Structure 1
Amino acid sequence: MIKTLKWLSVVSTLGMVFVLLGGALVTKTESGLGCGETWPLCHGEFVPSAITPELVIELSHRMVSGIMGITVLTLSILSWKYIGHIREAKFLAFLSSFFLILQALIGAAAVVWNQSDFILATHFGISLISFAALFLLMLLIFEIDTKFDADSLIIQTKHRIEIYALTIYTLIVVYTGALVRHANSSMVCGDWPFCTNNAPFSFSNYSFDQWIQMGHRLFAGILFIWTIVLFFKIMKNYRTNRVMFWGWITTVLLIVLQVFLGAMIIFTVLNLGIALLHAFVISCYFAMLSYFILLSSRSAKL
């Protein structure tokens, strides 16, 4: 059964990546109403009669999300039954299923009742939590920690609190980034890092959209600086621990790449591939922070 759980956890985690990227693709191509205002059927038809690119994108996302819903629920039930004795297993199993179902309901509500941009922006973050929970559940099933010296790792209280705070703040940044996409504010600022480099504090045209865009850049900039500062603290205090050392090097590389891709979105005038990669990298970054939360919670009980 453990072998089955391992395969199922890998499929679920990778599948959630496609759910995240599929949702981002739907938003970026404005395909949210590709199936009209009906859900789960397209235009009320089991087999759509009129095929459009928007319909294909939206319907594909729904199909992948539906398949992953069944897969994740199966993994959660089996994990609860067979590895429920592991401290975090039941909680992560519940978390992954609950937030996956919640994001599906929000997606359905967006189609049927046409939700506001501020509500729609929560969709990606909710999916991200489900992905992170699945990622951690996969690590538990594979017993990744037994291959390193993570079980005996003691993280100081002040660093645990900072990791928790940084993770919560990351969700806020993710929300602002999703709001930029849903409000169609991605290209209201033609320069980077300022909206207009020649006049950094000028917001004369499309001011509300510019504030959304620049607000996200400000939050993202703080996230970048905070990650770098915490990285140096970790290197100073846990340099001899392989998990913390290589884990935080990976985390810093991800946030650097994320900022670079954010800038490239502007310079390439919203290149779709770069935009999707931008969503993928922040997902990996959040998964790493979630792993450090797992280590922190264990450390607090040692």
Structure 2
Amino acid sequence: MQRSLKWFASLTTLAMLFVLIGGALVTKTNSGMGCGRSWPLCNGQLVPSKITPELVIELSHRIVSGAAGIMVLILSIWAWRAIGHIRETKFLAAVSFLFLVLQGLIGAAAVVWGQSDFVLALHFGISLISFASVFLLTLLIFEVDKKFDAESLVIDSKMKFHIYGIITYCYIVVYTGALVRHKGASLACPSWPLCAKTRIIPVQLHEWVQMGHRIAAGLLLVWVIAATVRAVKQHKQQFVIYWSWIISLVLVILQIVTGAMIVFTNLNLYIALAHALFISCLFGVLSYLTMLALRSDRQKTESPQSKLSATMK
């Protein structure tokens, strides 16, 4: 496989990470209106005359997102031509670009017309799907050289249940986390893990949003631990499955630790961005496991034995 394509795919994946972190930065610093109600211009100007920190953050995010969009488009076309024979390539190429465009349109609509917090919380999740698609496309490009065997894995039904269930549930956790940010509820509960030292039950909406996310993240940790234990016991010989779950467990723990540190440090910006980074990486790993599980399903239906049994029926 062309080394230049590998490099470009890796850089595009990195660029998409910057888009995700940049979006979190915009939300955390309340910079969404840094350019006013103007898009794609900033305060109606190509070159803004009045520079503020919020303007710099918002405008930088727009520039990075635009550059990433061009890179994703180039990667999609390049991968389509280079490895289009691989079944997943065309689907991932289309999804990565379309969801990035959708993310940009939602962001533009929020600036020009405004949106509710519940709609804005979808913004990060849509960007996450685009990032995961680019990440998977990059892995496909590296897979072509057969540096690691991930095409003929046989995954049992119980492990598939964990994979499909956890990635679906993880997306719900991502939405609840984005809702915490957009609702301004990051510090609604001054204590951790309970909302307050003197009481257990939240008493107002922001506290319920915060505690709902904490409970959802805690359940995600429990489920990932269960899946990792099964991977260690049943899939130790399958290198990709084994290490994917080990990495997933580490990322979940880091995500929860940084979530707690956000409270203890009174919303330290760097910790908050690390919190968004870890959940983004986790979703990428889970997406790869999902692709492997779907491959396993397809291999089972396309195997000679299944075709023979279908013919006999």
> Shorter chain as normaliser: what TM range?
over 0.9
Aligned 1:39-54 pairs, distance under 5 A? 39-54=39-54
Q: Percent of aligned pairs with the same residue?
A: 58
Aligned 1:19-58 pairs, distance under 5 A? 19-58=19-58
Q: Does the 8 A contact of 2:155 with 2:293 survive in 1?
A: yes
Q: Does the 8 A contact of 1:89 with 1:137 survive in 2?
A: yes
Q: Does the 8 A contact of 2:228 with 2:249 survive in 1?
A: yes
After superposing the two structures, state which structure 1 stretch, 190-199 or 109-118, moved more: 190-199
Distance 1:91 1:272 in 2: 36
Aligned 1:227-242 pairs, distance under 5 A? 227-242=224-239
1:301 aligned residue: 298
Distance 1:197 1:286 in 2: 32
Aligned 1:1-302 pairs, distance under 5 A? 2-143=2-143, 146-201=146-201, 203-204=202-203, 207-302=204-299
Q: What is the root-mean-square deviation in Å for CA atoms of aligned residues?
A: 1.3
Distance 2:4 2:138 in 1: 12
How many equivalent pairs are there? Answer: 299
Q: What TM-score does the superposition give when structure 2 sets the normalisation length? A: 0.93
- In structure 2, the CA distance between the partners of 1:227 and 1:144, relative to structure 1 (3 Å rule), is farther
**1:152 CA displacement:** 2.5
Computing the radius of gyration from Cα coordinates, the structure with the larger value is 2
Structure 2 unaligned blocks of 5 or more: 300-313
Q: Does the 8 A contact of 1:117 with 1:179 survive in 2?
A: yes
**1:8 CA displacement:** 1.8
Q: Does the 8 A contact of 1:149 with 1:241 survive in 2?
A: no
Distance 2:268 2:84 in 1: 44
Distance 1:223 1:265 in 2: 19
Structure 1 unaligned blocks of 5 or more: none
Distance 1:104 1:145 in 2: 34
Q: Does the 8 A contact of 2:16 with 2:131 survive in 1?
A: yes
**1:301 CA displacement:** 2.1
- In structure 2, the residue corresponding to 1:19 is in which secondary structure? helix
Q: What TM-score does the superposition give when structure 1 sets the normalisation length? A: 0.96
- In structure 2, the CA distance between the partners of 1:3 and 1:149, relative to structure 1 (3 Å rule), is closer
Distance 1:100 1:150 in 2: 27
AA aligned to 2:214 is R
Q: Does the 8 A contact of 2:132 with 2:283 survive in 1?
A: yes
